[in-house]
Copies of this chain bind each other. A is one copy, B any other.
Amino acid sequence: MTSPRSKAIAIGPEEDRKLVKAIERGGAVSTPLSDASALIWSAGPSDFPASLPDGVRWVQLPSAGVESWFDARAFEAHPSVEFTSAAGAFAATVAEHALALLLAGVRALPEHLQARSWEQEHLIGRVGTLRGATVTIVGAGGIGRALIPMLAALGAEVVAVNRSGRPVPGAIRTLPVSALDEVWSNTDHVVVAAPATPATRHLVGSAELARLPRHSWVVNVARGSLVDTDALVEALRTESIAGAGLDVTDPEPLPDGHPLWRLTNAIITPHDSNPTVLRENAYAEHVAANVARFVAGEALIARVDPTQGY
């Protein structure tokens, strides 16, 4: 990644005007795949070429999570190609969504929305504040880092959890994932924003939920598998925590009739934290930034590391 590279970059599987412009903003030109040194992809793995021309050295994928690409063995099939995900591209909008879910919960909006009368004795004491509250963000990647200043502006104190424990800017404390046990009884709320890997499966399970305070909201904007759904349903049903804001679930899609649909302290947004209407522009910005780096021979943003699983 030290020498400038070709400025011929392909788009697949279909032409896309926003991506053509993004490539141009990045200082390159869009070109057929046969002549290209890179490929900007805007679909899933199923249509992805089984083999790529030798000239292709970089492939940009359109999603932040790349589990399906691992499942499709795409990285193994192209060992000499550098893949980048769109991790970070959608960070701000997903972080905003996480804040919306958390604030709605803390401010008891689901209960308010059910009310049909001004006198709401059952709501007394239910409205809380993020001011002075401790919010732990598990996973301090793009989403977590984008969320920190939003929470800070509300006067919350953010504890970040990442792999290394290396301090995350804006967090009052950063814990390594090895110290995750310390989190649950020392936080008011939890936002799950970590990648889905075998190691993070059911990171929030019954033991963890049991140690959270009763006023806690758990927000998951990462992947459903990070939370043990059965344990969560039980915690919500017994009100051992205050509620959950879920943009992702396990299983997903959440089947009709699933208990989560009936729990009034669950806010479910079916993978809506980053809707199409918002993501196209965000992906184009990400592509422009990475193309500029590719052309300049600089390190690309959001490199997929097959050994880490994301």
Contact = CB atoms under 8 A, between A and B. Distances in A.
B153 A108 contact: no
A261 interface: yes
Contact of A149 (B116, B153, B278): B153
Contact of A268 (B115, B150, B153): B115
B109 A269 contact: yes
Interface of A: 92-93, 96-97, 99-101, 103-104, 106-110, 112-113, 115-120, 123-125, 127-131, 149-150, 152-155, 252-256, 261-262, 267-270, 272-273, 275-278
Contacts of A123: 270, 272
Contact of A110 (B113, B125, B149, B253): B113
Contacts of A129: 93, 96, 278
A127 B92 contact: no
B278 A127 contact: yes
A178 to B, nearest CB: 31
19 contacts: A92-B131, A96-B130, A96-B131, A99-B103, A101-B107, A108-B272, A109-B267, A109-B269, A110-B113, A112-B270, A113-B267, A116-B256, A118-B256, A123-B272, A124-B275, A125-B275, A125-B277, A127-B269, A129-B278
A93 B149 contact: no
A253 B119 contact: yes
A118 B254 contact: yes
Contacts of A276: 124
A270 B109 contact: no
Contacts of A272: 107-108, 112, 123, 127
Contacts of A93: 129, 131
A107 B102 CA distance: 12
A289 to B, nearest CB: 16
Contacts of A153: 149-150, 152-153
Contacts of A104: 100, 103-104, 109
Nearest to A245: B109
A115 B269 CA distance: 9
A109 B115 contact: no
Contacts of A113: 110, 113, 267
A104 B103 CA distance: 8
Contacts of A116: 256, 261-262
Nearest to A114: B113
